[in-house]
Structure 1
Amino acid sequence: MNFSSWPPLLVVDVEGNGANPPDLVEVAALPVREGQPDTGTAGAWLTKPRRPVTPFAARVHGLTNERLENEPGWEEIADQVHSLMGTSWICAHNAHVDHRVLSAHLPTWRPAGVLDTLRLAKATRPGLPRYSLDALIEHLRPDLTAAPAHRHRATFDAYATAQLLILMADHYDTWDQLVAAAVPPGLPGAPEPDKDPTLW
C-alpha cells in the first residue's frame, strides 16, 4: 500500500455519558500521515455533558461526573473539533456509531468519507470468532507502546484503531481498493454502484 496516496484522514473515537442518545464526554481525532499515527497534530477534548454520566459509562471509561465537572461544555469546544476534522476522511471502529454521534453534535460537518475498521477486519480476516476492538488487538498485535491513556479512553482507542487500520491496509494495493472494502454502505465515500448499461 502506498500510504502517500491517501487523502487527509483522521482516526476518531468518542466516549459518551451512557444516555441514549449520548452526550459526548470525550473526543479524539488522530491524523494518519505516511502510514503512521501523527500524535503531534492530534486533537483530544474532554467535555462536561448536559446530562450526568451514568454509573455504567463511568465504569467503562473512567470519566466520572466529578472528573468532568470543570471541563468545558460542548458548545465551547465544538468549533475546535469541527475545525480540526474539516472535510477529511475519518476512520473509526464500528464507524456508524462514531459518525452518527459526531454528526448529531456537529450538524454542518461533512466528512469526505468514512472508513470502518470493523468492516475492514471482516474483509481481511474472515472467520475470526469476534471482531471487537479488544479481539482485533489480541489477534493482530499492533504496537501500542506509545498509546496514550488506557483502553476505553478516546485517545487510546483512536491510536489502537489507527494501528489496526495501517496493518490491515497492507492487504490492498490502492486507496480505491481499501475504500471499496472499508466504507459501509450509506456512509460518505461509499463507491457508487455500477449502473446497469441495459437500463435507459
Structure 2
Amino acid sequence: MRLNPPMASLLTRWRTAWPWTAHQRLQDPRLKAVHARLRACKPALLARTPLAQTRFVVIDTETTGFHADAGDEIVSIALIELQGLEPTGRAYTTLVNPRRDIPPLSTRIHHITNADVAAAPVIEEVLFDIIPFIGDSILIGHHVQFDIRFLNKTLYHLCRCRLPHPYLDTMMLYIAVSGRIGHCKLEDVAQFCRVTIHGRHTAYGDAMATAAIFQTLATHLSRAEQPVSRLLKCQRAVGQFHHL
C-alpha cells in the first residue's frame, strides 16, 4: 500500500526517533518503568477512595489541532495536583516540540509559535516526567478525553499501554449540577462557578481554572467522606442521557 506523503513523513519521524518494534522499545529501562507504572494502577481502588483522601491530577494540553489520530500533536501540557479538593502546590508545565509545523490557526488560539517550541522536549521525553507525576490519581479535565487521547496515542506506540486511570470531566459534572444540555465551554462553566480564568488557552491557566471549577462542582455533588465513585456515577448518568 502506498502511503500519502503526510503519513509517510509521520512514520519516518517515528522510526528515526525511537526503535520501531514494541519489543525493542521496552528494552529501554525508562519505558519499562512507564509500562510497569501504568500496569500497577488500580482504577477500582481509586474509585472506592473517599473524596477527601483522593489524589487528583488536573490536566490540560494545547495542540496543533483537534485530531490526535490524524497527525496533530501536543505543544504544551500542564498538570496540577490536588489532595482531596485542596491544591498541594505541586505542578508541572512545559512546552512540547511537536516535530511538525504549528498551523497559524492554532497559533491564533494558544499563541504558541514554531519558534517557541523549537528547543522544547519532544512528547516521548515529557512522558517520562508526567507519568510519575500522574502516579495513582484520578484525572480531571475539561473535555478531558481530548487530552487523554493525545497522551494515549504516544503511550500506545511506545509501550503498548494506555492511561488506565479513572477520569472526571468538569463539563459532565457541570451538566449534572446545572441541568444544562449541550457543549459547554470552559468560560461558561467558569462563569457558573464564579471562577476567573487567568491565561485562557494556556495549558497552565486552563488547568488552574479547571481545578477551581472542580472544587466547586464536587462540593455540589458529593461529600468529603463519600467515595469518588459517586462523582463517576454522576458523570456516567449524564453520559447515558446524552446518548439517548
Instruction: Say yes or no: does 1:4 pair with 2:52.
Output: yes
1:129/1:74 CA distance change after superposition, 3 Å = closer
1:177/1:16 CA distance change after superposition, 3 Å = same
1:134/1:52 CA distance change after superposition, 3 Å = same
2-side partners of 1:184 and 1:55: how far apart? 39
1:154/1:94 CA distance change after superposition, 3 Å = same
- Which structure 2 residue ranges, 5 or more long, are not aligned? 1-49, 240-244
Instruction: Say yes or no: does 1:60 pair with 2:123.
Output: no
1:19-168 matches, within 5 Å, as 20-21=67-68, 22-38=72-88, 40-107=89-156, 108-127=161-180, 131-142=184-195, 147=198, 150-168=199-217
Contact 2:58 2:211 in 1 (8 A): yes
> Which moved further from structure 2: 159-168 or 26-35?
26-35
How big is the shift at 1:13? 0.5
- Which structure 1 residue ranges, 5 or more long, are not aligned? 187-200
Match of residue 193 from structure 1: none
The CA RMSD over aligned residues, in Å, is 2.3
Percent of counterpart pairs with the same letter? Answer: 27
The Cα offsets for residues 9-49 of structure 1, whole Å up to 9 and x where unpaired, read as 101011111263221111111111242223x3111121111
2-side partners of 1:110 and 1:183: how far apart? 19
Contact 1:116 1:183 in 2 (8 A): no
How big is the shift at 1:185? 9.1
Aligned length: 179
TM-score (norm 2): 0.67
* Aligned amino acid, residue 147 of structure 2: D
Contact 2:174 2:217 in 1 (8 A): yes
Instruction: Say yes or no: does 1:13 pair with 2:60.
Output: yes
- Match of 1:31, SS? strand
Contact 1:88 1:111 in 2 (8 A): no
- Match of 1:42, SS? strand
* Aligned amino acid, residue 72 of structure 1: P
* Aligned amino acid, residue 73 of structure 2: D
Contact 1:89 1:112 in 2 (8 A): yes
* Aligned amino acid, residue 160 of structure 1: A
Contact 1:87 1:109 in 2 (8 A): no
* Aligned amino acid, residue 180 of structure 2: G
- Match of 1:152, SS? coil
